[in-house]
Structure 1
């Protein structure tokens, strides 16, 4: 499957690196498309119309407000459309690309290291063979999960923001132990491995968060003291506020 990426920013680059195959790409900043092409052994093409003519799948990675402009440039040349545009519904995609099979996606940048999460919802015209081929491609860069389209925006508040949230947690954790005398390089290495290992443990426990917490929490012990401090600091309310802020900001 020849994939054409309209937009060559961070998410497009992460997806392409995760697939490990050459892609066709465009961008309003030519240097970005050239850099992505060089990184994948692909090709920066001259126009969105040419990209659509040559690609089996056009993936929309541009800004949401550019939807109609890009659709006009592509015309009826696209064989299939996949979109990562925040807030742009399947209905809106099908209106912009009438008669073209579409699928809406929500990935995160961990696809670059093939540990991403990609939620998807297919449009009405997305046939089974095409959907299967697209899901096989996406599955190379992480776990692929079907969701009802109204939940795509909620999923964004969990999936697309996850690397930034985890990075912030890691940063705060490192700062806290550095303040107690731990060298910064050692603290950073320990926190990164602790987060990665804990994620693996959670998966091994079938994502049973209560079981995972209880396994390492002795009543009155140090872990219990730390968890109590986090609860008193309002960690749950902070995450609720963060989810609401993301979902409410979707166009």
Structure 2
């Protein structure tokens, strides 16, 4: 019997239309991911449900048309794709609670830092399709950098679904699980290094006579523009940096000061210690 032409495409479209997304935990990161899905038109608000123990975070979800509950099990009953967005120390208890409701039709995605796929698979029914996602704070403005790793029950379809949905929230890459702690040191914590650098740049301009608000805006736009050039040109940052330096000019004089202050080695050390700390936390 000949295959019905376009069947796969139609099925994929139907699945997207029928996709029901749940969030167990309704904090800042969960809200940021949900906003990304809504803004990109990936999932209608009526197909999103979030649970939290109190109403403190749920009001904003209701305002955007999502459904809310205080019952984690209800999220499992109403959703096929479930994001576990609780604090890491709360997650084992939550997994114990929802375990009876998890079925083969569910795709479970954990956002909890330091909770390994091995732990998730041990605490969920055998064969559960589980993935581990590590977002960063700019996901809340749809400019995040996220990596995810899949457990043994999750296949190419689940990975493709997650990547397709989360592309609306920023960069999303599948990686081996061992990269997740490095991503924490590079990007999860890394946004704070960038804020510190931006603050220092702006303060330098204030020292030279520019008003603080203007200096902060220009510093932020400078970082945004430099990052966009890195992503869009695909050039190595050293090449882009060299392009800015004219012989005997302002930039090379400034870079000499940064090198004297060991900026490069200090930032590498920061990524290293944050990664090690993430590894230690995963062992606890």
TM-score class normalised by the smaller sequence: over 0.9
2:23 maps to which residue? 5
Whole-angstrom CA distance in 1 between matches of 2:244 and 2:195? 23
1:92 maps to which residue? 119
Contact in 1 for aligned 2:52/2:70 (Cα 8 Å): no
Q: Provide closer, same or farther for how the CA distance between residues 238 and 39 of structure 1 changes in structure 2, counting only shifts above 3 A.
A: farther
Of 43, 51, 60, the residue aligned with 1:26 is 51
**Aligned ranges 1:119-198 → 2 under 5 Å:** 119-198=147-226
Whole-angstrom CA distance in 2 between matches of 1:69 and 1:207? 46
**Aligned ranges 1:208-223 → 2 under 5 Å:** 208-223=236-251
Taking structure 2 as the reference length, what is the TM-score of the superposition?
A: 0.83
Q: 1:28, CA displacement in angstroms?
A: 3.3
Of 53, 66, 81, the residue aligned with 2:90 is 66
Output one character per residue of 1:128-177: Cα deviation in whole Å (capped at 9) or x when no partner: 32332222111121121121111111111112223322222111111111
Gapped runs of 5+ residues in structure 1?
Answer: none
1:76 maps to which residue? 100
Output one character per residue of 1:48-80: Cα deviation in whole Å (capped at 9) or x when no partner: 111111111111111111222001211232312
The DSSP-based 3-state class of the residue aligned with 1:214 is: helix
Alignment partner of 1:43 is 2:67:
yes
Taking only aligned residues, the RMSD between alpha carbons, in angstroms, comes to 1.6
Q: 1:25, CA displacement in angstroms?
A: 1.2
The ranges of structure 1 where at least 4 consecutive aligned residues each deviate by more than 3 angstroms after the TM superposition are none
Contact in 1 for aligned 2:28/2:140 (Cα 8 Å): no
Q: Which has the larger Rg?
A: 2
Contact in 1 for aligned 2:32/2:142 (Cα 8 Å): no
Gapped runs of 5+ residues in structure 2?
Answer: 1-18, 39-43
Whole-angstrom CA distance in 2 between matches of 1:116 and 1:241? 23
Whole-angstrom CA distance in 2 between matches of 1:243 and 1:207? 22
Q: Provide closer, same or farther for how the CA distance between residues 29 and 190 of structure 1 changes in structure 2, counting only shifts above 3 A.
A: same
Mean CA deviation greater in 13-22 or 212-221: 13-22
Query: How many residues are aligned here?
Result: 250
Whole-angstrom CA distance in 1 between matches of 2:231 and 2:158? 30
1:241 maps to which residue? 269
